[in-house]
Structure 1
Amino acid sequence: MFFCSTHIFSPSYHLVYDVYIVCWSFCFWFIMAVMLDAAAIEVPDGTPRDVMKAQIKLRCEGTSILLELDDCEAMSVVFLALQGNLLARHGYRLSQYLCRGQAKETFEQLVELAEEGGGGGVLVEALYIIGRYDLLEDQLGLPVNFTLHQFFKREIGGVEPDRKAMYCVCAGMAQEQTDHLLATRLEDWCCSGPGRPLEETFVRNLTGINYHVLLNQLYQALLAEQRNSLASCLQPFIMHNIYLHDRTCISTTDLRKLCFSQALLNKPRLYFIQACRGNEGLRPILLQQDNTIVTHSESDCLISAATVQGYTAVRSQTEGSWYITDLCQALQEYGHIMPIKNVLQKTRQNLKSRMGSMNNTYVTQLSEEKVTLIRDVQLVRAEEEHFLEGITILTQLEVMEKLLEEALEEIIESDDNLESLISSLINIRFS
Structure 2
Amino acid sequence: MTGASRRIAVFGAGYIGLVTGACFAELGHRVVVRDIQPERIRLLNSGEVPFFEPGLGDLITRNKERLAFTLDVEEAVRDAEAVFVCVDTPPTASGDADLSRVWAVVDALRGASHLVAVVVKSTVPVGTGARVRAALDERDLGHVGYASNPEFTAEGRAVEDFLRPDRVVIGASDDAVARWVADLYGRLDSPVELMDVASAEMVKLASNALLATRITFINEIATVCEATGADIGHVSRAVGLDHRLGPHFLRAGLGYGGSCFPKDSRALRAMASNSGYPFQLLNAVIEVNELQPRRAIQRLKTELDGLKGRRIALLGMTFKPGTDDMREAPSTIIASRLLAEGATVTCWDPMAPHTDGRQEPWSSATRRPDPLGAMTDADAAILVTEWPELTDVDWTAAARLMRNPLLLDGRNLLDPAALLSAGFTHMGVGRGTRRPR
TM exceeds 0.5? Answer: no
Tell me which protein shows more helix as a share of its residues: 1
Q: Specify which structure has the higher proportion of strand.
A: 2
Of the two, which has the highest radius of gyration? Answer: 1
